[in-house]
Amino acid sequence: MKNNIQDTIVAISSGNVNQAISIIRLSGEDSIEIVKKVFSGKVGKDKTITYGNIIDNITGKIVDEVLVNWFIGNKNYTGENTVEINAHGGIVVTNKILNLLIANGARLANRGEFTRRAFLNGKISLDKAEAINSLIHAKTNKQAEIAISQFNSKDNLIIENLINELLTIISLIEINIDYSDYNDIKEMDANTLTSQLSKFNRKLDSIINKSENACDIYKGINVAIVGRPNTGKSSLLNSLIGSQKAIVTNIPGTTRDVVEGEFQINGFLFNLIDTAGIRQTKDLVESIGIERSKNAIKEAKIVIHMHEPFIKENEEDQIIKELSKGKVYIPVMNKQDLLNKDQYPKNMVLISSKKNSLWELKNALVKNYLNIDLDDPQIIFNNRKLSLLKQAKISINTALESLSQGLGPEVVILDINEAWGSLSEILNKKHDNEALLDNIFSKFCLGK
């Protein structure tokens, strides 16, 4: 049966684990009636708590002794009748109550469905819904702080200004096409349009670049640990995450697939990928692992290139350097304890992964993120918004390319309209002609 917004939904909102108190939440028009069928206590008024037992209404047996929170009406999170049952937190008891509520008319909620209803009922914006999800999944203090900062949709003002700027450009093009004989309107020829779109594009570039760097902090920074076989890649991953996750031996080619782990430095989350050593091999399985290593470099923001003492760089090292172009590249000399100070190589980070001497590497990892102002109003952390902003930029680039090939404003206006549509979608606004018409005719003199 297809799920319906009118269904009364239920779920364990505190997590399906053993704990002191568990919470079973219902939301929907029939929430109160369903609970009344299995609850021996009184139905409370809005925002009150009552005490009683949950009773199996088929066997008559008591399931648990509970407190029930009543949220009657629409002045609550989901904007509809909501009931929360606070039970003793054993998995067995909690699931018995859940199944009892389903048997009496509730439907098991889908992932995120309570927040979806809050959005559909106008209690929260889509931005806040996405921020709530990010806050729930935050793994560091910085990620939590960023998620909370998204509750007020402060980046909407930037998008609103971009939309208005593009709307003005579109309006002037339309007026020059349809009202070319009206002398008081600013002319919008190809050169003027190119100048204005180029300026607009630079603004998009600035916002996107700032946002991408900041989003690394928000999502976690991908780091690929690469190098020839037996340079200490797996030992480094184990040392950084504080766990023996990767197998370490003296046999080259031990790591045949990527191994992943996470660790934090000063609130920054790093997603580590230990890769198979890059070398020429006839071993089919190892070859697949090496290809995955190359893909890991492409996906990474930071590349740690491992070296060991007294071994000169070879063709494989050059391949790694080539693949690392455009990344934050950190060349690392492992096993520094085997070197005298006068043997330390220049322009390399020195570590000893087995002796856990990693402070210099940790400094290098965070260096590029320390000066990012996470409160900068021009930073957009939301992936959906940033993707749409990039779509707008693609459309503007297409328009500029067409202008450079000699096409006129009357042609490239289609691409500019696409960019306007992408920006409007960020704010969940309809891309219609009403705003455009308002803007066009506001340029006319009174009485025209």
Residue 87 annotated as binding site? no
Cα 281 from Cα 277, distance rounded (Å)? 10
Nearest-10 crossing angle of helices 315-323, 284-299? 40
Residue 250 annotated as binding site? yes
Residue 227 annotated as binding site? no
73: left (phi over 0), alpha (psi -120 to 50) or beta: left
Residue 50 annotated as binding site? no
Residue 274 annotated as binding site? yes
Any alpha helices (H) in 83-183, and if so which ranges?
Answer: 91-103, 113-120, 126-136, 141-149, 156-178
Residue 326 annotated as binding site? no
364 sits in which H/E element: helix 359-367
Residue 8 annotated as binding site? no
Residue 231 annotated as binding site? yes
- Tokens 């603004």, residue? 203
Residue 249 annotated as binding site? yes
Nearest-10 crossing angle of helices 156-178, 383-404? 30
- Tokens 């008891």, residue? 93
Cα 48 from Cα 335, distance rounded (Å)? 64
Residue 233 annotated as binding site? yes
Cα 351 from Cα 339, distance rounded (Å)? 11
Residue 253 annotated as binding site? yes
Cα 378 from Cα 374, distance rounded (Å)? 10
Residue 59 annotated as binding site? no
Residue 192 annotated as binding site? no
Residue 199 annotated as binding site? no
Residue 232 annotated as binding site? yes
Extended strands (E) in 144-280:
221-227, 259-265, 268-274
State the binding site: 25, 84, 123, 230-235, 249-255, 274-277, 448
State the binding site for Mg(2+): 234, 255
State the binding site for K(+): 230, 249, 251, 254
State the binding site for GTP: 230-235, 249-255, 274-277
State the binding site for (6S)-5-formyl-5,6,7,8-tetrahydrofolate: 25, 84, 123, 448
